[in-house]
Amino acid sequence: MGVPVTIRLQEADFDTAREIAAMSAGRTDVGAVVSFSGVCRGGPDGDAIDGLTLEHYPGMAEAEIGRHVAEALARWPLMGVTVIHRHGRIAPGENIVLVVTASSHRGAAFEAAEFLMDYLKTRAPFWKREERAAGANWVDAAAHDDAAAARWTKS
């Protein structure tokens, strides 16, 4: 039986608790479930972010996430992977992304979740546009995100 993999791109919000619970529901082999939630920040006072619009490349986004999930499955002994990424308009406090990984022990689940997030940040075709009182701006890519992704390719 293959490892259960869920990849969803959607405009609607999702229920984080339900997604985490589903990872171990009805089975007794899972010993560790790790989740990462990416949430829209409101920004500091004086530089408040009114919301985000996430543009994505339909077709490629699913394919690219699928390739990284396949790589994670090859590198760690995982028992389940869920990746949900929203697109469209997202208000401060709302979910943007969820990664859930399951394994028999925590090490693999933690590492695979971090690997998937580092690649989602730098390789999955999504672009954030931040809305502020002064106007909307495309978010610049962060060099520290590239560095975070690059460490997974070191020997």
Q: Where along the sequence are the contacts to other proteins (CB under 8 A)? A: 38, 54-57, 59-60, 63-64, 85, 96-97, 117, 120-129, 138-142, 145
Please state the closest distance from residue 137 (CB atom) to other proteins, in A. Answer: 9
* Closer to other proteins by Cβ: residue 8 or 30: 8
Nearer to other proteins by Cβ, of 123 and 132: the residue is: 123
Of 47, 64, 48, 68, nearest to 56 (Cα)?
A: 64
CB-nearer residue toward other proteins: 19 or 79: 19
- Smallest gap, in angstroms, from Cβ of residue 77 to other proteins? 24
> At closest approach, how far in Å is the CB of 11 from other proteins?
14
In this structure, what DSSP letter does residue 14 have? -
- Residue 79 Cβ vs other proteins, minimum distance, rounded to whole Å: 23
Name the residue nearer to other proteins (CB basis): 31 or 38.
38
